[in-house]
Protein backbone atom coordinates (compact mmCIF):
# COMPACT_ATOMS: atom_id res chain seq x y z
CA UNK A 1 0.00 0.00 0.00
CA UNK A 2 2.75 2.48 0.95
CA UNK A 3 4.64 1.84 -2.31
CA UNK A 4 1.52 2.66 -4.37
CA UNK A 5 0.95 5.76 -2.28
CA UNK A 6 4.51 6.97 -2.81
CA UNK A 7 4.28 6.39 -6.59
CA UNK A 8 0.94 8.23 -6.67
CA UNK A 9 2.37 11.21 -4.78
CA UNK A 10 5.39 11.33 -7.10
CA UNK A 11 3.10 11.43 -10.17
CA UNK A 12 1.02 14.23 -8.65
CA UNK A 13 4.16 16.15 -7.67
CA UNK A 14 5.55 15.87 -11.20
CA UNK A 15 2.35 17.13 -12.80
CA UNK A 16 2.23 20.08 -10.39
CA UNK A 17 5.84 20.89 -11.17
CA UNK A 18 5.13 20.89 -14.89
CA UNK A 19 2.09 23.12 -14.31
CA UNK A 20 4.08 25.65 -12.26
CA UNK A 21 6.95 25.76 -14.76
CA UNK A 22 4.55 26.08 -17.71
CA UNK A 23 2.67 28.98 -16.13
CA UNK A 24 5.97 30.67 -15.27
CA UNK A 25 7.28 30.16 -18.82
CA UNK A 26 4.15 31.56 -20.48
CA UNK A 27 3.84 34.63 -18.26
CA UNK A 28 7.58 35.34 -18.42
CA UNK A 29 7.67 35.02 -22.21
CA UNK A 30 4.67 37.32 -22.63
CA UNK A 31 6.11 39.85 -20.16
CA UNK A 32 9.48 39.97 -21.93
CA UNK A 33 8.05 40.13 -25.44
CA UNK A 34 5.44 42.81 -24.83
CA UNK A 35 7.42 44.96 -22.41
CA UNK A 36 10.52 44.93 -24.64
CA UNK A 37 8.38 45.82 -27.66
CA UNK A 38 6.78 48.66 -25.73
CA UNK A 39 10.11 50.06 -24.49
CA UNK A 40 11.71 49.70 -27.95
CA UNK A 41 8.90 51.75 -29.54
CA UNK A 42 8.96 54.58 -27.00
CA UNK A 43 9.94 57.95 -28.50
CA UNK A 44 12.64 58.62 -25.89
CA UNK A 45 16.42 58.55 -25.75
CA UNK A 46 18.40 55.35 -25.37
CA UNK A 47 19.42 56.44 -21.88
CA UNK A 48 15.77 56.64 -20.79
CA UNK A 49 15.04 53.29 -22.50
CA UNK A 50 17.89 51.73 -20.51
CA UNK A 51 16.53 53.10 -17.22
CA UNK A 52 13.03 51.87 -18.12
CA UNK A 53 14.45 48.44 -18.97
CA UNK A 54 16.17 48.24 -15.58
CA UNK A 55 12.94 49.16 -13.79
CA UNK A 56 11.09 46.69 -16.02
CA UNK A 57 13.59 43.99 -15.04
CA UNK A 58 13.05 44.63 -11.34
CA UNK A 59 9.31 44.59 -11.93
CA UNK A 60 9.72 41.23 -13.64
CA UNK A 61 11.63 39.84 -10.66
CA UNK A 62 8.99 41.09 -8.21
CA UNK A 63 6.00 39.85 -10.23
CA UNK A 64 7.47 36.42 -11.02
CA UNK A 65 8.64 35.94 -7.42
CA UNK A 66 5.09 36.59 -6.23
CA UNK A 67 3.74 34.27 -8.95
CA UNK A 68 6.09 31.43 -7.98
CA UNK A 69 5.34 31.93 -4.29
CA UNK A 70 1.59 31.74 -4.96
CA UNK A 71 1.81 28.69 -7.21
CA UNK A 72 4.12 26.78 -4.86
CA UNK A 73 2.03 27.67 -1.79
CA UNK A 74 -1.12 26.44 -3.54
CA UNK A 75 0.57 23.20 -4.61
CA UNK A 76 1.84 22.57 -1.08
CA UNK A 77 -1.61 23.19 0.40
CA UNK A 78 -3.14 20.75 -2.10
CA UNK A 79 -0.48 18.15 -1.28
CA UNK A 80 -1.04 18.56 2.47
CA UNK A 81 -4.79 18.22 1.99
CA UNK A 82 -4.34 15.09 -0.12
CA UNK A 83 -1.94 13.62 2.44
CA UNK A 84 -4.48 14.29 5.20
CA UNK A 85 -7.23 12.57 3.21
CA UNK A 86 -4.98 9.57 2.59
CA UNK A 87 -4.11 9.32 6.30
CA UNK A 88 -7.79 9.47 7.25
CA UNK A 89 -8.63 6.73 4.75
CA UNK A 90 -5.79 4.55 6.07
CA UNK A 91 -7.06 5.01 9.65
CA UNK A 92 -10.59 3.99 8.60
CA UNK A 93 -9.34 0.86 6.83
CA UNK A 94 -7.18 -0.05 9.82
CA UNK A 95 -10.13 0.46 12.17
CA UNK A 96 -12.31 -1.78 9.99
CA UNK A 97 -9.60 -4.45 9.76
CA UNK A 98 -8.91 -4.34 13.50
CA UNK A 99 -12.60 -4.63 14.43
CA UNK A 100 -13.79 -7.25 11.98
CA UNK A 101 -14.14 -10.86 12.99
CA UNK A 102 -14.21 -12.09 9.39
CA UNK A 103 -11.12 -13.34 7.63
CA UNK A 104 -9.69 -10.67 5.32
Pick 15 or 65 by higher pLDDT: 65
pTM for the model stands at: 0.62
Q: CA 34 to CA 17: how far, in whole Å?
A: 26
pLDDT tens per residue across span 4-30: 666 666 666 678 788 888 888 998 999
Kindly list the domain boundaries of the chain, sorted by start residue: 2-99
pLDDT digits (tens, 9 = 90+) for 47-60: 999 999 999 999 99
Res 48: pLDDT = 96
For the chain, what percent of residues have pLDDT higher than 90?
39
pLDDT of residue 8: 66
Instruction: Compute the distance between CA of residue 70 and CA of residue 73 in angstroms, rounded to an integer.
Output: 5
Biggest CA-to-CA distance, the chain? 85
Amino acid sequence: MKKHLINFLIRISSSRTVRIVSIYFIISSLWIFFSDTLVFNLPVSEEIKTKISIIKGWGFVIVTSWLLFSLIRTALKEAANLNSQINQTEKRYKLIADNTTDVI
